[in-house]
Amino acid sequence: MSKMNPLLYLFMLSTVILGTIIVFLSSHWFFIWLGLEINTLAFLPLLVASYNPRSTEAATKYFLIQALASALLLLGGLLHAATINSWDPSSPLTPLPLTLLLIAIALKMAIPPCHNWLPDVLQGLPLLTGLILSTWQKLAPFYILITIQESIPTWLIVTAGFFAALVGGWGGLNQTQIRKLLAFSSIAHIGWTIAIIPFSPQLATLNLIIYFTITSTLFLAFHTLHTLNLANLSNSTNFAPWLTTLTLITTLSLAGLPPLTGFLGKWLIIQELALNTNTPAILILVLGNLLSLFYYLRIAYVISLTLSPQHTTSTLAWRTSPSSSNFPLALLIILSTCTLLISPSWLPLTF
């Protein structure tokens, strides 16, 4: 079909990045809202850039949810300013503005109970647009959460975290579409990330960045393999055996299995929660992760641990194309599987 004008696409992408940077740089609730609005509005043409009705539906759902969230955020900021007479984001929040802001952030980051939009929206988008939605769009609301984290009651955010882990686990169990699976894995990982915020915001940032690395790898890998559901995934061994194997290993890294990078986030979070003697939270988070592990293992099983019914005359592709190297994907695969041993080098990313 017709493609979007590349200059317009670049302008919108730059404005998305500019919106998030405005949120990072502002010390006034109104400009935080302004940055988020610029971010959301400029993201909409990127959602519809592949002009088909399913993307239109995804963009409409995304816009309605995010517009509600932005309105709630603005209302919370205004009420806070009216109560405290200060627009400073680091001033302590009273309960009503805090509630409005938390609902707004939950809508923006797909934290349960405001998570249902993410699988449907992600399913309607091409994988690279879904990548931007899953990674970059989560940075600005996460920053707001870190800014107001002293005012949030600990029980609330830890409960939201383990509900997110459980919902992410149970929701993904019946999915065969890769994008919905990745949406539920996003919900689960964000749950782990926010559960540790009251104890250590640095660990939350670390877990978020590790999650971004691994999920970017998976989105790019599935984009390169041109597979959108588990049925197509079973055939990918025949034409890209190396990438298939590496996707298997990256999926296990997303599940948080030990010799891989994904384990770093979970390990440090469990350690920090244990040091704060918060054992029920650890138990429920780990059980939620066990549920997620089932569908990660299902991906692993389908992708290379089993041979699906196929023509007996299919052979392994032996030709290699040296000209089409995919350096970003290669770099991300290395970062998301091999960097557990050099864990101290992840620490500078957590300010």
Partner 1 sequence: MSFVLCSLVFGGGVIVFMSRSPYFSALGLVLATCGLSGVLMLGGAVFVGLILFLMYLGGMLVVFAYSAALAADIYPEVGAGKGLVITLVGAAVLAMVVEVSWGVVEVKGLGVQEDLLGISGLYLDSWAGLLLGAFGLFVCLFVVLCLVRGVGRGALRAV
Nearest to 134 by CA among 97, 93, 189: 189
Q: Does 22 bind partner 1 (CB under 8 A)?
A: yes
Q: Which is nearer to partner 1, 37 or 272 (CB)?
A: 37
* Interface mask toward partner 1 for 308-327; x: CB under 8 A: --------------------
Number of other residues whose CB lies within 10 A of the CB of residue 242: 9
Q: Which of 29, 32, 37, 182 binds partner 1 (CB under 8 A)?
A: 37
Rounded to an integer, what distance in angstroms lies between the CA atom of residue 27 and that of residue 139?
17
Residue of the chain from 10, 27, 30, 280 that contacts partner 1 (CB under 8 A): 30
- Map residue 306 onto helix, strand or coil: coil
Can you list the positions of beta strands (E) in the chain? none
Q: How far is CA 304 from the centre of its chain?
A: 25
Q: Which stretch binds partner 1 (CB under 8 A): 27-35, 154-162, 224-232, 289-297?
A: 27-35
Q: Is 24 a residue that touches partner 1 (CB under 8 A)? A: no
5 vs 314, which CB is nearer to partner 1?
Answer: 5
Give me the amino acid identity at 249.
I
> Segment near partner 1 (CB under 8 A), from 45-53, 111-119, 135-143, 285-293?
45-53
**CA–CA separation, 223 vs 52, rounded Å?**
18
> 299 Cβ partners below 8 Å, 6+ apart?
181, 230, 233, 248, 251
Nearer to partner 1, 57 or 276 (CB): 57
DSSP state of 50: S
Minimum Å gap between C-beta 29 and partner 1 is: 12
Q: Does 55 bind partner 1 (CB under 8 A)?
A: yes
Q: How many chain residues bind partner 1 (CB under 8 A)?
A: 26
Q: Of 20, 23, 29, 45, which lies in the binding site for partner 1, with binding defined by CB under 8 A? A: 45
The CB-of-66 to partner 1 minimum distance in angstroms stands at 13
Contact 210, 261 (CB under 8 A): yes
Q: Of these, 10, 24, 27, 52, which contacts partner 1 (CB under 8 A)?
A: 52
Contact 252, 292 (CB under 8 A): no
Q: Is 34 in the site for partner 1 (CB under 8 A)?
A: yes
What proportions of the chain, in percent to the nearest 5, are helix, strand and coil? 75, 0, 25
154/151 Cα distance (integer angstroms): 9
Q: x/- contact string, 59-98, with partner 1 (CB under 8 A)? A: xx--------------------------------------
Closer to partner 1 by CB, 42 or 269: give it. Answer: 42
Min. distance of Cβ 122 from partner 1 in angstroms? 17
CA distances from 295 to 48, 255, 273 (A): 30, 9, 26
CB of 70 to partner 1, least distance (A): 12
**199 close to 340: Cβ distance less than 8 angstroms:** no
- Rounded Cα distance between 158 and 292, Å, is 19
Residues found near partner 1 in the complex (CB under 8 A): 1-2, 4, 8, 11-12, 15, 22, 28, 30-31, 34, 37-38, 41-42, 44-45, 48, 51-53, 55-56, 59-60
